[in-house]
Amino acid sequence: MNVALAHDYLNQFGGAERFLESLMNFFPEAPIYTLLYSEKKTLERFKHRTIKTSILNNSLIINNHRHIIPFLPLASQLINISDEYDLLISSTAGYAKGFSYNSQKTFHISYCYTPLRYAWEDEEYLHTHPMFQNRPLFQQCVKPLTSYLRTWDYSAGQKPDILIATSHFIAEKIRKNYGRDPYVIYPGTDLNTFFPEPKKRDYFLAIGRLLHYKKFDLVIDAFNALKLPLKIVGTGPEKQALMARVKSPYIEFVDGNIKNDKKLRDIYSGARALIFPQVEDFGLVAVEAIACGTPVIAYKKGGAEEIIKEHRSGIFFNEQTKEALINAVYRFNSMHFNPWIVRKEAESLSTDVFKDQFLAVIEDYTTLRKERLSRMAV
């Protein structure tokens, strides 16, 4: 069976890219089709694979892709995947499900992290962006763009033969926005890579891409007041603004380009808790922390509600405010979490569990494809 993989863009390394590595392990010969690729920005994790990119793949756009959102749907349609493949697996939060291919010959399974955020959740992801805040005219100009993106994303969401949602939270969005009923399979975490190290746990941790909707500003404001040690690990366009927000000498930014999984495991294992204040589609970072025995202090919405078991692998707070997070940290400090009991909560979210569930969908694909080919032959 000839397989091709598709991913929105490879100009950063986060949870989606780590998940793509799992797919690569399942299909070691499969090429990867993507809009953009930077070997450096993906920490050289994909340099040994065949990568096929779009016409937009140049350094200017690689470094500024969020500024050309209106052009990404068109560029995705111009990626033409060869009809030599029996199976296309797209890993996508937006564009890869819209790549062009021969739908009569190639069966398409799409692993969907979320419907395109800029299309369906513009109030959260566009209007709250620093570029648009307190600029009503700019916000009005966004409306035609939002309408265009919704039309395109709905159409692209009909292309895959099978849709898989990363969580029940995202499955509901797919039903609402695409009118389709997806499978739900949680992404897996490698429990041989992430496990508790015997280290002193003497700081709190926030980790991820430094984007406005990840709410690092809320974490910084809370820990400015708490005067407790906090490490922030990540890279992204908000880094300078976030660094300028720091008032406490106990807050430290750590280089986010961590190539070595052992170093990442050490960072998780040295933390008293991961701070998780954002609404995530799933939250692979939270699972990696739990696998390392590190409990999570999370905002109670989105994928976190499906990952975290209160008082077993973490605690929740109910409002995205500095005060609510501060109170959650105070509550956490009065509790005790055993790292190995926390770790046990990650076992149902392992790579092995994901593989079994995903390959079961592949078996469904085989049956459906045979039925399709039989109908075509009549």
Of the pLDDT bands very low, low, confident and very high (cuts 50, 70, 90), residue 118 is: confident
Statement: residue 110 has pLDDT above 80: yes
Query: 38 pLDDT band (50/70/90 cuts)?
Result: very high
Model confidence pLDDT, tens digit, residues 6-21: 999 999 998 899 999 9
Question: At a CB cut-off of 8 Å and minimum separation 6, what does 316 contact?
Answer: 297, 298, 299, 300, 304, 305, 308, 310, 328
Mean pLDDT within 91-118? 94
User: Where in the chain is CATH 3.40.50.2000?
Assistant: 203-349
Q: What's the rounded mean pLDDT across residues 184-213?
A: 94
Give the confidence band of 123 by pLDDT, cuts at 50, 70, 90. Answer: confident
DSSP string, 117-140: HHHH-HHHHTTTSTTTTT-HHHHH
- pLDDT confidence band for 133 (50 / 70 / 90): low
In one-letter notation, the amino acid at residue 192 is: N
- Buried b / exposed e along 135-163 (16+ C-beta atoms within 10 A): eeeebeebeeebeebbebbbebbebbbbb
CB within 8 Å of 98: residues ≥ 6 apart = 73, 76, 77, 152, 153, 155, 156, 159
Task: Tell me the per-residue pLDDT of 339-372, one tens digit each, with 9 for 90 and over.
Answer: 999 999 999 999 999 999 999 998 877 777 777 6
Which residues sit opposite 297 in a β-bridge?
275, 315
Residue with tokens 């603004």: 241
DSSP string, 163-226: EEESSHHHHHHHHHHH----EE-PPPB-TTTS---S----EEEEES---GGGTHHHHHHHHHHH
**Would you say residue 28 has pLDDT above 80?**
yes
Q: Cβ neighbours of residue 33 under 8 Å, at least 6 residues apart?
A: 4, 5, 6, 7, 52, 53, 79, 81, 96, 99
Average pLDDT over the chain, rounded to an integer:
92
Give the pTM: 0.90
Is the pLDDT assigned to residue 376 strictly greater than 70? no
3 state SS of 29: coil
Does position 99 have pLDDT exceeding 90, yes or no? yes
Q: What pLDDT, on a 0 to 100 scale, did the predictor assign at position 49?
A: 95
Residue with tokens 């994901």: 354
CA angle, residues 356, 360, 364, in degrees to nearest 5: 170
d(CA 279, CA 301): 6
Q: What is the mean pLDDT of residues 298-313?
A: 96
In this predicted model, which residue has the larger pLDDT, 5 or 124? 5
Q: Is residue 130 scored above 90 in pLDDT?
A: no
Specify the pLDDT at position 128. Answer: 53
Phi, psi of 337, deg, nearest 5:
-120, 125
State which fold the 203-349 domain adopts.
Rossmann fold (3.40.50)
In the prediction, which pLDDT does 257 show?
77
Rounding to the nearest 10 degrees, give the CA dihedral for residues 94, 214, 274, 206: 120
| CA–CA–CA angle 50, 23, 62 (5° rounding) | 50
Can you name the CATH fold of 3-188+351-377? Rossmann fold (3.40.50)
The more confidently predicted of residues 137 and 113 is: 113
Whether residue 142 is predicted with pLDDT greater than 80 in this model: the reply is no
Model confidence pLDDT, tens digit, residues 254-292: 987 787 889 999 999 999 999 999 999 999 999 999 999
User: pLDDT tier at 70 (50, 70, 90 boundaries)?
Assistant: confident
What is the mean predicted confidence (pLDDT) over 221-248?
Answer: 96
Cβ atoms of residues 291 and 191 within 8 Å:
yes
CA dist., res. 15 & res. 211, Å (int): 14
The whole-number pLDDT of residue 127 equals 54
Average pLDDT for 281-305? 97
